[in-house]
Every structure is written in C-alpha cells, then in structure tokens.
A and B are shown apart, each in its own frame.
Chain A
Amino acid sequence: MSTSQTPLVEVRNLVKHFGSVIALNGVSMSVNRNEVLCLLGDNGAGKSTLINTLAGVHKPTSGDFLVDGQPRVFSGPRDALDAGIATVYQDLAMIPLMSVTRNFFMGREPLIGFGPFKRMDMDEADNVTRDEMHKIGIDVRDPQQAVGTLSGGERQCVAIARAVYFGAKVLILDEPTSALGVAQTSMVLKYINQVRAKGLGVIFITHNVRHAYAVGNRFTVLNRGKTLGTYAKNEIGIDELQNLMAGGKELQSLSEELGGTI
C-alpha cells in the first residue's frame, strides 16, 4: 500500500477513559482506500471501545481523530454516518420478522407521493434490494421474504450491502465471521474483498487470524488498550501474527501441548 495517500480515517494516540478505567491507552491506526485493515486483539484488548469511538458512540478522551486528513469530533453515530463511516455491528441491526426490503431500507425509506398520501415506494425498494443482493451473489427471489429465512452469512452480507448502498466510504465490520460456518465465512470474506475492490476502506475486527489473513492488507494488533504494531501482509506471517495477538509465549507453549492446532 502506498503511504503517500491521505488515509480515509486515521487515529493517533487515541486515549479513552471510562471513569477510572483506561480502556484505550494510546491507539494509532489508519485505513486507506482500497484497503482492508484488520484490527486484531484478544478479548478485552479494547476493540469494542475503539469501534465505538470510530463510530461516534464514544468521544475520545484525548488523541487525534482524522477523517480525510481533517480533524473531526463526532457528536453521535449519525454524525459518523454522515461522514461516510458506517458500522456493521455483530447483531447486524436487522429484524428477523421483517422482510429483506423493509430491513434494507429501515430508517431510510424511499418515499413517493404528496402530503398525506406520501408512501413507501415499495416497488423501487424491492428492485433496489433485489439488484444489490444480486450484485453480491445472493439470489433473493422474493425481497419480501423475512430476513429470518436467510442464513447467517447472507444476513451479514445484506447488512454490509445496506451500508455500502447508503454511501459508506469506510466500513467497520465488528467480528462479521465469528458466528459463521466455513462456507458462510468464505462467502462473507469474498464479499469483503469485493467491497474493498470498489474503493472502500474496510476495518475488519476479528480475533480469528486466519480470517484476517485471508482478506487483510494490513494488520493492527491491539493488546491491553495499546497498539502493539501495524504490519503489512508481506511483513508478517500468520503464526507470528497469532503469537503477537495472544501476547507471546504463553500461547506458544499451550499450542505445543495441543499439538500445534491453535
């Protein structure tokens, strides 16, 4: 990746305190266009706090937060969304009982008609949904079918497609593959790659190094609220990354005990 271009989003020495708890203690990272940045870290490393800060849910205690090179302070998630930073959370913000179309346009319904007769343009919404789903290779025969009928991977893809369709430039994906099977995971990973190729910056949060290595261009490792470092794909191997993430030796010895299967 070229270092000359301005990152879409960059944070430097980000610190976040919750009362006496220091959740982030100097995190630096950046994501460029056409890039998947993987944010790796074990439980409690501060991944969630970092996402929520990037998404505008939390305000950083100190540190720089640059969007397109300009310092920004978000007053809420809506602000971040307007700046083109969309977050797909683990629970996806999808409602299983509602149709794919209704979920896709939830909160941003296309309207048609005048005054009191203003109504949802359901045909248009159905068409857009069908098209967008088709682009990612999910053949939704009937966009009016409930989201509950889709598989976990398909739901994840719908949530990502929704964010992309509504103009996201930076996509934050919070453990999109953690609850998925093998086939489903590869479907989601393929789609992440596709989104990157469209020119978006993707921040892919995971604690699965294999998934990260499959699509990532760069890897930022978090541990105890700090960045341990950022590595390009050609600088680091998958095992090295694994060890770094787990904090070194302990896991290595455990891994030997288990016959090197972790």
Chain B
Amino acid sequence: MTLANEQNGSAVGPDERLKKVSTLTAILRRPELGAVAGLVLVTVFFLLTANPAMFTLAGVMNFMAPAAQLGILAIGAALLMIGGEFDLSIGSMVAFAGLVFGTALVVWQMPLSVAILVALAFAVFIGVTNAQLTMRTGLPSFIVTLAFLFILRGLTLVGLKWASGGATQLRGMKEAVAGSPLAPLFSGDAFPGLFTWLAEVGIIDTFPNGTPRVSGVPVEILWFIAIALLATWVLLRSRFGNWIFASGGDPRAARKSGVPVARVKTTLFVVTALCATLVAILTVLDAGSTDARRGFQKEFEAIIAAVIGGCLLTGGYGSAIGAFFGSIVFGMVLIGLTYTSIDQDWYLVFLGGMLLTAVVFNNVIRKRVTGER
C-alpha cells in the first residue's frame, strides 16, 4: 500500500473514491443489469394492467414458451456477438433446418435420431461456411450473413416446393415420430407425473374434471434454461469463455496472446446455427409441419434480446444470462398484451423502443465501468 502511494501519488485520490462506490460499481458492472431492470419494469407494468390470469402457472407457461424459442436463438446470438460477429441468417436458418429435418423425416422416412443428426450436420456446414467466408474475405459478418439470410430463405422455398410437390408447407412430422423414444426430449411437456400429483394434492389449479390445467413444463423451456446455464458457465468459467471475450474485444491483441481467434469464431458460428436448428426441431415437432415463413425476422429479435441482455454491438462484452432475461421480457410483452386491453400491435413499437433504450443504456454503463473516454 505505502509502496503504491509512493509510486503513484495521483492514484490515491481516485482509489479512495473507488472504495466508496465499489458496491454500486460491482452491480453496474454486471452486463445483465439492463435485462433484469427491464424484466422488473415489464412485470410491474403487467401486474398493474393485465388480467391476473397472466401470472397463474398456465399464464407463465404461455409466455415462457415463445420466450424459450426466441431465447435459444438469442443465447447463441449473444455468444457470437460477444465473440465480435453477427449472424443475420439465424431466422432463415430456422426455416432451412426445418426443411432439412422435415424432409429427412417425411420424405426420406428416416428415424427421428437420424433426422436430427442430418439437420445438425447441415447446421455445422452452414456455420462453418458463414465463418470461413467472413474470415477469409475479411468482410463484416453482417454482410456475409445478410447474404445467407436471403440464400437460406430462398433455398427453403425451393426445397419445400420440391419436397412437398409444389406447396410451401410440409406436413406429417407428428405421425412420423410417433412412438420414437427420442420424441419426448423434443416435443410435448415434461414431468407430466409431477404435475398430475401436484394437482391431486391441490398445489396447482385443475380443470373441473380433476386433470391439471398445466400438464407439464413445455420441453423448450427446459432446453432454454439448460442452454442458458451452460452458456453462462462457458463464458464465465471456461477457458473458451475467456477466448470468446478476447476474440470479440480485440482480435489482434487476442491473437498476439496466443488465442486461436479463427477457431473460436468458427465454433461460435456453428453454435449459432446449431441453436437455430434446435429451435427448428422443437417447433416443427410441436406444430407437426414446417413452412417457409418459419423463423421469419427472428434474427433481429434474437439480436435485440442479446442487446437488451447487455451485449455490445462492438463485441467483447455481454452475458448469456442477460440474453435469457431479455428473451423473457420479449415473451412477456408479446403474450402479455393479449391479457390487457391494449392493441397487440404495440408490440412492434415496444420492440424498437426497448432496443434504443438498451443500446443507449449499455453505452453509458460501459463508459462508466471501463473508464473509457
């Protein structure tokens, strides 16, 4: 301490100030602060304005399901953004993966496990392609993946017409997977036994005939939570997480320090495509069909959720748990407005407003945290 004071007299003043605000700084330093604040705000808003049914168990499952579908994409997008790249092709990737998965199941009559593997293999291929094109050309990933936004959407349309004989929709997935032991992992509700029991002992609401109003947790919500936890662990505790922050923060500095930046970014592009494919599998099995509009504009919603979650557009900063909360905010507003007397189309206004607020907020926080001038 004395040495520090001797060596750098000018640091004594600021040091004392730092001590005073350290708790506040510690909270402000959390990138997910904005998303948590947003969640609290939105919850309070709906508690005041919405029909109380929104916050029953059934109501919560209602808004968590779309939140989960978006959230799986948003967490992938968040990791990639922290790694310093964008993927605008996620939404189209959902549609394309749906086509591949559906075709494998219905047209090629593959078992569910093989169809999933085929879809995932395509995802790896697309992810690697995005990454290689971005890295080899040195173009912004924004442009490269914008191209794939159109290419994949177009391929989906063409492919669907080919697979279905002229329509833009492919049906029959539910029948194709009936009886498959893997199916419960990707469709329907989990823990039905638990919920039946909870209903019997009177903890949760039941229909008049005694069956529970909520028959289980939709599997996508479990996937959503699991992926959020895994991504958070990777970011904050693993070596790869450190590499993600480094690659996004300053790729040149990272490379000089021995971080394999190209490998990190390629992995992140693949992870994003895999997330899109998982969402495709979940939603296709849920609906029993796939169509060309699947995942439409989801790339923007995912990026907005990631930004609300504290990701900087410039990379190197952000959080997976923030994207998790950001997605719940989305689900709440999308579904919550139907519980109020407010016109549902206000959703889009909210979307833009929330994005602006989040970006401004993030910039202010970043400057305060890092002392950037």
B156 to chain A, nearest CB (A): 34
Interface-centre pick from B4, B242, B258, B372 (highest chain A CB count, 10 A): B242
Whether A91 contacts B242 in the complex (CB less than 8 A), given A97-B316, A183-B8, comes out as: no
Whether B48 sits at the interface, judged by CB under 8 Å, is: no
| Residue from B4, B256, B316 within 8 A of A138 (CB atoms) | B4
On whether the beta carbons of B238 and A138 are closer than 8 Å, the reply is no
On whether the beta carbons of A148 and B372 are closer than 8 Å, the reply is yes
| Residue from A97, A98, A111, A154 within 8 A of B239 (CB atoms) | A111
Residues of A within 8 A of B369 (CB): 146, 148-149
Interface-centre pick from A78, A107, A142 (highest chain B CB count, 10 A): A107
- List A228-253 residues whose CB lies under 8 Å from chain B: none
| Residue from A89, A107, A147, A190 within 8 A of B7 (CB atoms) | A190
Docked Cα-Cα span, A142 to B243, in Å, equals 21
Residues of B within 8 A of A96 (CB): 249, 370, 372
On whether the beta carbons of A120 and B241 are closer than 8 Å, the reply is yes
A197 to chain B, nearest CB (A): 15
- List A77-122 residues whose CB lies under 8 Å from chain B: 77-78, 89, 91-98, 102, 105-109, 111, 118-120, 122
| Residue from A105, A139, A146, A153 within 8 A of B370 (CB atoms) | A146
On whether the beta carbons of B238 and A119 are closer than 8 Å, the reply is yes
Whether A120 contacts B238 in the complex (CB less than 8 A), given A106-B259, A137-B8, A141-B22, comes out as: yes
Which chain A residue shows the least CB distance to B82? Answer: A97
| Residue from B3, B4, B29, B242 within 8 A of A102 (CB atoms) | B242
On whether the beta carbons of B372 and A109 are closer than 8 Å, the reply is no
Q: Mask for B1-25, Cβ within 8 A of A = 1, else 0?
A: 1011011111100010011001000
Residues of A within 8 A of B242 (CB): 102, 105-106, 109, 120
Whether B253 sits at the interface, judged by CB under 8 Å, is: yes
Whether A151 sits at the interface, judged by CB under 8 Å, is: yes
Interface contacts beyond A106-B259, A137-B3, A146-B371: sample of 7 additional A-B pairs, CB < 8 Å, sorted by A: A93-B252, A96-B249, A98-B316, A146-B369, A148-B371, A184-B8, A187-B7
Using a CB–CB cutoff of 8 Å, the interface residues on chain A facing chain B are: 77-78, 89, 91-98, 102, 105-109, 111, 118-120, 122, 137-139, 141-142, 145-149, 151, 153-154, 183-184, 187, 190
7 contacts between A and B (CB under 8 A): A91-B252, A91-B253, A93-B250, A105-B242, A107-B259, A141-B15, A141-B22
